[in-house]
Structure 1
Amino acid sequence: MLNKSVFDFLLELRENNNREWFHANKKKYEAAKKNFQLFVELSIEQIKTFDPSVSGLNAKDCLFRIFRDVRFSEDKRPYKTNFGAFIAKNGRKSRYGGYYIHIEPEQCFLGGGCYMPASNILKAIRTEIFHHPEEFKEIVENSEFKKHFPELYGEKLKTAPRGFPKDFEHIELLNYKHYAVSKMIDDSIVNSELFAKEIDNVFKALHPINRFLNEIVQDL
């Protein structure tokens, strides 16, 4: 179970997003981070029971830094107001499809797949779907998948991607810029013993699309 200290810290940070407060409360941050890291370790153990590709990972491979890169942003707040982890082969910077946990009061979600894939990966995914549309449709139209993820995440191209025929019967499957999904999770679930079961259910439903994507990525 995720410790309440994680939420408490993030709520305080939201109201005091400055370096002076952060340094004065560094012990709170370290305690919250340690608890989230432990939770991610346990989540990895859950996931590898149905997706062995995450075996060998540890939470440190998967956790994102809380420090924001403000060099090119108008928003100069120095810290993120969430904890996040991407569980996938090779960790948080992986090009493989994986499983994402986002903890932020009132904005918690679970997700995964390939978010912002590199252009060569995106083209390879579209090409595989073009040649095997029924296989991909079977995944994204599965009732268990749709229960958690009614649609794929993000913007779509308005016309067929370059190199693909506009009259392709399933062109809507090729127009995505990401092959990723997300599901919002209520804070009451996140802060209860039900969260581990929710992770198990959601990520098991996500596994087939990750398997499809990763068979493509591993050949590049």
Structure 2
Amino acid sequence: MTSIEKSTFDFLKTLKNNNNREWFTENKPQFQIEQLKVKKFYNALMERLKLHDTIDRFKFFRIYRDVRFSKDKTPYKTHFSGSFSRATKRLRGGYYLEINPEESFLAGGFWDPNKEDLFRIRKEFEMDTTEIRAIINSENFIKYFGKLEGTALKTAPRGFDKEHLDIDLIRMKQFIVIRKFTTKEVLASNFLDEVDASFKAMRPYFDYMSEILTTDLNGESIID
């Protein structure tokens, strides 16, 4: 299965309009058919990824929502999604793909870095942003992702100069790359190629961040 079928979007749209346990139970056989087709697509994508990266594991997310702490009590997600983890402590970052009738997208990077990683990234940016700016301003990065995204502080983090020339990067709390797709693009025969090409375009960014997060400020490895 190397493409996403229209029937998958049709099912997810109908699920959104009937997001209750009774309807889902009645239509579970169709859900299982669509889920299997999408899983096959993700497995094909993983085989592509393995040709240019070292993938540790693939996680396909369950359709069931955790509603314990949410105001939205609808029991089911109205999308399919999965993630791919890079192998070993030296390879940082991860890949994500969501198939959604309203807005499908892929993403990669660092959603919620721990305080040690966040501090290390900021200290690197404080010293020198030549390499990261070359990456995010490159023609290929802009073609696929537009810009580096993520939430940021309104002012400088504690201990950093708010007048620093690179304060725009230092203020960031997340470091994410995103590419959105229209329904037409997702249903096109070359969608697998486009997703794979996008993930491949993340590599310079991942390689740079991996080097930062596995070394100290002197460039010495901190990995045993």
TM-score (norm 1): 0.88
Q: What RMSD, in angstroms, separates the aligned Cα atoms of the two structures? A: 1.9
In structure 1, list runs of 5 or more residues that go unmatched.
none
Contact kept in structure 1, 2:141 and 2:147, CA below 8 Å: no
Distance 1:190 1:171, change over 3 A: same
Q: Which residue of 2 aligns with 1:157?
A: 153
SS at match of 2:150: coil
- State the match for 1:79 in structure 2: 76
Change over 3 Å in CA distance of 1:62–1:211 after alignment to 2: farther
Measure how far apart 1:217 and its partner are.
4.1
CA distance, structure 2, for counterparts of residue 123 and residue 139 of structure 1 = 20
Counterpart CA distance in 2 for 1:215 and 1:22 is: 46
Match of 1:67 in 2: 64
Distance in structure 1 (CA, Å) of the matches to 2:105 and 2:29: 26
**Residue deviations 1:120-173, cap 9 Å, x none?**
222222223333311111111111101122222233212111222223221111
Provide the aligned length of Structure 1 versus Structure 2: 211
CA distance in 1, matches of 2:119, 2:62: 30
What is the alpha-carbon distance in structure 2 between the residues aligned to residue 49 and residue 130 of structure 1? 35
Q: Percent identity?
A: 39
Match of 2:6 in 1: 4
Which of 20, 23, 26 pairs up with 2:25? 23
Match of 1:132 in 2: 128
CA contact (8 A) 1:5 1:31 kept: no
Aligned to 2:173: 177
SS class of match (2:78): coil
Worse overlay, 152-161 or 75-84:
152-161
Match of residue 214, structure 1, among 189, 210, 214:
210
8 A contact 2:135–2:204 mirrored in 1: yes
User: What are the Cα deviations for residues 70-94 of structure 1, in whole angstroms up to 9, with x where unaligned?
Assistant: 111111011111111111226xxxx
Structure 2 residue runs without a partner (length 5+): 215-221
1:195 aligns with 2:164: no
SS at match of 1:101: strand
Of 91, 102, 111, which aligns to 1:115?
A: 111
Higher strand share: 2
State the Cα deviation string for residues 46-69 of structure 1 (Å, max 9, x = none): 122222x21x53xxx321121111
Residue 146 of structure 1 is matched in structure 2 by 142
Question: Does the Cα contact within 8 Å between 1:111 and 1:180 map onto a contact in 2?
Answer: yes
* Cα distance between partner residues in 1 of 2:164 and 2:94: 29
CA distance in 2, matches of 1:149, 1:160: 26
TM-score (norm 2): 0.86
* Moved >6 Å (runs of 4+): none
- Alignment partners' CA distance in 1, 2:85 and 2:16: 28
Q: Distance in 1 between matches of 2:133 and 2:51?
A: 25
Distance in 2 between residues matched to 1:3 and 1:27, nearest whole Å: 17
Classify 1:44/1:143 alpha carbon distance in 2 versus 1 (closer, same or farther; 3 Å): same
Deviates more, 1:210-219 or 1:184-193: 210-219
36-45 vs 124-133, which moves further: 124-133
Following superposition, the deviation at residue 193 of structure 1 comes to 0.7
